[in-house]
Every structure is written in structure tokens, then in C-alpha cells.
Amino acid sequence: MASIELRNIRKVFGSTIVLPDISFTVREDEFVVLVGPSGCGKSTILRTIAGLETPTSGEVWIGGKNITEVHPRDRDVAMVFQSYALYPHLSVYDNMAFGLRMRKFAESEIDKRVREAAAFFQLDELLQRKPKQLSGGQRQRVALGRAVVRNPSTFLFDEPLSNLDAKLRAHTRTEIARLHKRLKTSMVYVTHDQIEAMTMGERIVVLKDGEIQQIDTPLNVYRKPANRFVAGFIGSPAMNFIPGTREGGSLRTDFCKFELLAATQSAAKSSITLGLRPEQILLGPAQNGHVGFNLLVDVVEPMGNELLVYGRAGTQSLVVRCDPKAAIAIDQTVPMHFDPQAVHYFDGENEKALPIS
Ligand SMILES: Nc1ncnc2c1ncn2[C@@H]1O[C@H](COP(=O)(O)OP(=O)(O)OP(=O)(O)O)[C@@H](O)[C@H]1O
Ligand SMILES: [Mg+2]
């Protein structure tokens, strides 16, 4: 078990600054997810921890030691990639044993570890097959098994599930969660799938353009996004953003006007973006200080467990998450409302979240 610490990591490729200045710590038993859009620097961070990339400046510490200059082979780190990179001519068994043989482990120890990992990932029956005789999900489990047999202090995963179909993804996601529960080592998991981020991470690091936007538990990131980017990136369907203007103590948008809370008022400038999660818009007439408006419905998506209703309020497009039994039809105008004390406000210029209390 070992903690991971990135201290002011800067990475420049040619004239491109990929990571301006990244610092964060992963506790020795923690599962941290790095999430962000394509090209934001997730793989570069992981590769820097593994030693496959040298930082332009800054330090990587693992288990209390500065390992910035240590060769990747001598870091106690195993990395699992999106492409499984198995040796095609070797059996499943030999693929898993390969790294240990390189490190001159005794065959008896190798055999013990390979069989243990094979049992954990349900590969027992497949040990003599070649990779091309396996399904994508089975190959990915071999890649996971190969990382596990090394018994490293730290695991790094770079989108290991993105080649799998939805069902296998969900299954393997649970397997990795179980693996973490069993091994209790530090794990850093990269994804741009926000469901993986929400369900797997003890903490999430949300990145944009090589900069950390927020580090927090999944629920805090969802409930208290630090800025508009985080608010829009985490959550599906995404939060509705409504441009607004401050008029004295009120906020005016295209379809509503209401009194701002004192805390929001005191921090706000003239331009404010209102943020409404699809489930924060409620069906029915306003009551108890809620703000009401009418939605002209244009699309209805019955999802089974919920009903997604798309429509317009004034010129503003909105999506609303409703009870699956709600009777809502296309071209209907339905009353909706929201609680102004429970929703989100962002500075219209710098996009930071404004306080509500
Ligand atoms: N060897 C390199 N030379 C030049 N630019 C690079 C190199 N490696 C990565 N980059 C650039 O650095 C940025 C970050 O790349 P990185 O692979 O870390 O992104 P990512 O967040 O993992 O994206 P994805 O989700 O698509 O995998 C990208 O703009 C990429 O083009
Ligand atoms: Mg990547």
C-alpha cells in the first residue's frame, strides 16, 4: 500500500502546455477517478505516475518517496490500458505469468499467483487459450489479471472498459470495485464516462484543459459543482443552463423573474447563469415560494424508470426528469416549477458557482 502524490506537475510537449501545474494526493487505500473531456490530459497524468512520461517540472511521490527519476520498471505500479496489449502468441496463463518471469520469480510462486488471479476474474477454464480465442471482455479480464499478479502497491487504469459493450462494462466495473475492496491499494482510474466516475470513485478529480476544476466525493461534485463546467460535465441529462440578468435583488431570465437569496445577491454581478438539474424542475403549479413557468413540450422519452420531457419555456430549451407515470404529451403546455433555494447559480462571466447560503 502506498499513497501517490503529484507536486506541481507541469508537462509541455513542444509548444503545447498540456498540464500547466497539477497537484493532488491519492491516499494509500483510496480509489480516485480522473474524469474530463478528450484531450484534457488524463492519460498524460497517469503516464507520468507510471514513469512513461517525464514531467517538464514537478515531482511524483509514491509511498513517501520521490520517484520522479525512477525507471518505470522499478516503480511498484501496474497500469491497465484501454487496448489490452496481450501477447498474441502466448496463452492466457503465459500472458499473466510474463511480468513475473521477467522479474525472475520462482515458478511455484508464479503458478500460485496466476491461479489466484484467474479464479478471481473467472479465467480458470481459459488459461490455455490464446488471446484471439477470447471475447473482448475476457481479454480485458486477462489484462486485469496480469496487473494483479504483480501485486503492486498502486494500480493505474486508463479507460480499461471503453472497448466493452454496455453490459460487460457494468459487470467489469463491479469487478474492479470488488478488487479494490479486496486489495485496498491506491488506484487511479481514468475515464470520460461519468457513470463510472460517479459509481467507482471515492473521490473524483474533474479536469479541463489540464487544470483541476474540482476534487471531491461524487455526491459533492454533483450537488455542489464548483463551476459551470463541472455542473455541465457531471450528470445525465446535463444540467439546464439559463442565461439571466440581475435586476436589483431579482434575477430575470427569458421565462421567469424572482427574488435572489441574500447570499447570491451579495456575490453576484449583473450577468448570472441559472442552473437547473433535470430533476430540480417539478411538474405542476408553483407553491411554497417556488418559481413557476410553462413548458411547451416537444419530445417525450419514456425510459422505463423515468420520463424525460424536452420542451421550451420562452425561447429556452429545457429537459425535465419526470415520474414515469406522468401523463405528458407532445405539444402540450404544462406548468412546471422549481425551488430557487435548491438550484444553482453561476457568475455569468467567470462561471464560478455563486453561494446560496
Ligand atoms: N507525445 C505527445 N506530443 C504532443 N502532444 C501530445 C503528446 N501526447 C499527448 N499530447 C497532447 O496532450 C493533450 C492531452 O493528451 P492526453 O492523452 O493526456 O488526453 P486524455 O485526457 O487522455 O484524452 P482522451 O480522453 O482522448 O484519452 C492532447 O492535446 C494531446 O494531443
Ligand atoms: Mg487518454
Burial class (CB within 10 angstroms; exposed 0-12, middle 13-18, buried 19+) of 270: exposed
- Give the CA radius of gyration of the chain: 24
Q: How many CA atoms lie within 13 A of 221 on its CB side?
A: 28
User: Which DSSP letter does residue 224 get?
Assistant: S
What is the predicted pLDDT for the residue at 166?
A: 84
Query: Which mutation among 11, 16, 22 tests ligand 1's pocket best, with the greatest number of atoms within 8 A of CB?
Result: 16
Cell numbers representing residue 39 in the block: 484531450
pLDDT of residue 357: 78
What integer pLDDT is reported at residue 232 of this predicted model? 96
DSSP 269: -
CATH architecture of 242-347: Beta Barrel (2.40)
How far apart CA 280 and CA 343 sit, in angstroms, is 7
**Three-state secondary structure call for residue 80:** strand
Sort residue 161 into left (φ over 0), alpha (ψ -120 to 50) or beta.
alpha
pLDDT of residue 172: 85
pLDDT at 339: 97
> In the numeric block, which cell numbers belong to residue 344?
444553482
The confidence score (pLDDT) of residue 276 equals 98
Instruction: Answer whether 288 contacts ligand 1 (Cβ < 6 A).
Output: no
Show me where the domains of the chain are located.
4-231, 242-347
Length of the chain: 357
What does the pLDDT read at residue 81? Answer: 85
84 alpha carbon – ligand 2 mean position (Å) = 14
Q: How far is the CA of 192 from the centre of ligand 2 (A)?
A: 9
Buried b (16+ CB within 10 A) or exposed e, 226-246: bbbbbbbbbbeeebbbbebeb
Closest by CA position to 100, among listed 92, 91, 110, 87: 110
- Give dist(CA 62, CA 69) in Å, integer: 12
Q: What is the pLDDT of residue 265?
A: 86
Ligand 1 proximity of 39 Cβ (cutoff 6 Å): yes
Distance 197 CA to ligand 2 centre (A): 15
Q: What is the pLDDT along the chain (357 residues), one digit of tens a residue?
A: 789 999 999 999 999 999 999 999 999 999 999 999 999 999 999 999 999 999 999 999 999 999 999 999 889 999 998 877 899 999 999 999 999 999 899 999 999 999 999 998 889 999 999 999 998 888 988 999 999 999 999 999 999 888 788 888 888 888 899 999 999 999 999 998 888 899 999 999 999 999 999 999 999 999 999 999 999 999 999 999 999 999 989 999 999 999 999 888 888 789 999 999 999 999 999 989 999 999 999 999 999 999 999 999 999 999 999 999 999 999 999 999 999 999 999 999 999 999 887
The residue nearest atom 26 of ligand 1, judged by CA position, is 38
DSSP classification of residue 187:
E
Contacts of 238 (CB under 8 A, 6+ apart): 232
Considering the entire predicted model, what is its pTM?
0.92
pLDDT given for residue 194 in this prediction: 83
Atom of ligand 1 nearest to the CA of 192: 25
Q: Quote the ligand 1 centre to 38 CA distance (angstroms).
A: 8
Rounded Cα distance between 37 and 122, Å, is 33
Q: Which CATH number fits domain 4-231: 3.90.950.20, 3.40.50.300, 3.40.50.720, 2.60.120.10?
A: 3.40.50.300
Which of 34, 38, 40 maximizes ligand 1 atoms within 8 Å of its Cβ, making it the mutation to test the pocket?
A: 40
Say whether 100 sits in a helix, a strand or coil: helix
Nearest to 185 by CA among 94, 78, 81, 305: 78
